[in-house]
Structure 1
Amino acid sequence: MLKYWILAARPKTLTAALIPVLTATALAYSEGHGRWQPALLCCLFAAIMQIAANFINDLFDYRKGTDREDRLGPERACAQGWITPRAMTRGIVITLILACAVGCGLLPFGGWPLVGIGAACVLFAFLYTTLLSYMGCGDILVWVFFGIVPVCGTYYVQAQMLTPSVWWLAAASGLVIDTLLVLNNYRDRKQDALSGKRTLIVALGEQFGSMFYLLQGVAGCVCVAMLAFYDHTLCAILPLLYLVPHSLTWREMVRINQGRTLNRILGKTSRNMLIFAVLTVLALL
């Protein structure tokens, strides 16, 4: 049973949750504000919230019947019948309680405004799967909750302030991480259209989706390069190396075009995101 919960947690997606926290911490340390205690708590909160969001996505996709044959994977625990909807509901409650408990540990570092931010994270974890992803808002949520919120929040609890460099890093993080969602929506565009899920790619077309994937990676590098204007010169050089695997992955994605074969591009996109994060951390430190 434990292995099914691990599959449902989708460990591979934790990279997306941790990248903004790690890069923001590197920025804080490079500017003399690094503190390991709030940084560790931010990592734990981000990871647990990502697991909770994956559980929520699993449960509500099952209830809506949006899983189709070419989208089913071992991580879809409810659809596979390995975890009952009632058990998954309990899992959601437990992980959210754990996330809130960890979040409370951040209050001494960031104050009561963090309660509102945490509540928004919980609320939109539900709204994304149940409503907003059907309205073409998924990419906006990624920019906010994998860019602005975690990067600015992680930096603030360590430095007690926000600087212009933080906002550029937040923009870069959100853009690069959203390539993973864009790839998912590119792969599922036909099924999404049938089920009434109007992602940007369903609304604007396949060609838009492929260019959207490519250009977000480019825009992410442009944003992180702006940190060179704030005494982080290497940020205009090292992260550019990310564009090599990113462009090669994009070419392979366009060549494959559709079907479950695109699942292998998910792993390569996650790898590319990690490369971007490592290069950014090295540039900052």
Structure 2
Amino acid sequence: MSIPLSPSHPGRIRAWVLAARPQTLPAAVTPVVVGSAAALATGSFRWGPFIAALVAALLIQIGTNLANDYFDFRKGADTEERLGPTRVTQAGLLAPETVRNGMIATFGAAALIGVYLIVVGGWPILVIGVLSIAAGVLYTGGPWPLGYHGLGDLFTFIFFGIIAVTATAYLHAGTVPPLAWAASAPVAMLVTAIIVVNNLRDIATDRRASKRTLAVMIGARATRAEYALLVVGAFLAPPLLWIGGLTGPWVLLAWLAAPLAIAPLRTMLTAEGRALNPALKGTARLHLIFGLLLALGMVV
């Protein structure tokens, strides 16, 4: 049953906040912070590119959230059986066309900021920006949506992890230092882990909607193993950065985030369905805190 939206202005504001899914926004902040820290550690940092990259990343994340809200509803993946956080289109809080227009406007704003970033970074940033926006739309939209064909995990790893970190470093330095490449791996692992929680929770409903996520394709047991490997792999990265001579021992500060991994890991290994929602929030928090500590460790 759709939830009627109050015609009052505050009601619409709350609906747009829900649509933007603020709990997901740290996933956009962390790569920019880590990429900037890698640049600073190698002698390059500029405030202009940092702020512009941060705002553009947030807008792309919000645009992707709106795209998922709109396209999953249109394709029938979001129904009354939905187990995750409220989707405003499915819940009737905003009309589908309104969410679609919001998506277009948000990606358009990101593109406008991208003009400045292209001036700073040149054609590589143009290519990355176009591909990033395209990935945000095509994750659930288009004739062959990536998330419906088992490619969501891979594209999240690449675009919201590897590319987000290395492109940020490139904006500062005009090149990508080895530290940025290496530091992008754990960031990519943890942001992908967020998607894995989401997909494990929704295996049953996604299967009924013919949404073939990687979790649907490989099953719950392998999906739980994937999550564990991603989280453990992220924590193996800091000592490897130190041993490899890319940064100093302070990078081990990232291990202070380890206690935050315990509850999500336990939940992922034992829970099902809606009971996995706390693991979603916990993994997003882990991604942010780990990333901030990793960035601090690289610049100390």
TM-score normalised by structure 2 residue count: 0.90
Distance change (3 Å), C-alpha of 1:231 and 1:203: closer
Match status 1:254 vs 2:269:
yes
Deviations for 1:207-239, whole angstroms, at most 9, x for unmatched residues? 111111111011122234332123412355222
Amino acid at match of 1:174: A
Which of the residues 269, 281, 285 maps onto 2:283?
A: 269
Correspondence for 2:157: 143
Which of the residues 77, 83, 89 maps onto 2:100?
A: 89
Correspondence for 2:6: none
Amino-acid identity (%): 35
Match status 1:103 vs 2:107:
no
Which structure 1 residue ranges, 5 or more long, are not aligned? none
**CA shift at 1:70, angstroms?**
4.1
Deviations for 1:140-168, whole angstroms, at most 9, x for unmatched residues? 10111111211111000101111222111
Deviations for 1:1-60, whole angstroms, at most 9, x for unmatched residues? 111111100011110011100111111112210111101110000000111111111111
Structure 1: how far apart are the matches of 2:295 and 2:273?
A: 35
Correspondence for 2:190: 176
> When you count helix as a share of all residues, which structure comes out higher?
1
Structure 2: how far apart are the matches of 1:278 and 1:3?
A: 29
Which structure 2 residue ranges, 5 or more long, are not aligned? 1-11
Aligned residues: 284
Match status 1:112 vs 2:123:
yes
Match status 1:205 vs 2:219:
yes
Contact 1:227 1:235 in 2 (8 A): no
Deviations for 1:113-141, whole angstroms, at most 9, x for unmatched residues? 21111111121112111311111101110
Deviations for 1:53-97, whole angstroms, at most 9, x for unmatched residues? 111111111111111334266641111111111211211121111
Match status 1:234 vs 2:249:
yes
Contact 1:218 1:243 in 2 (8 A): no
TM-score normalised by structure 1 residue count: 0.94
Contact 1:148 1:167 in 2 (8 A): yes
Correspondence list, 1:181-196, <5 A: 181-196=195-210
Distance change (3 Å), C-alpha of 1:273 and 1:86: same
Contact 2:263 2:279 in 1 (8 A): no
Larger deviation: 15-24 or 115-124? 115-124
**CA shift at 1:266, angstroms?**
1.3
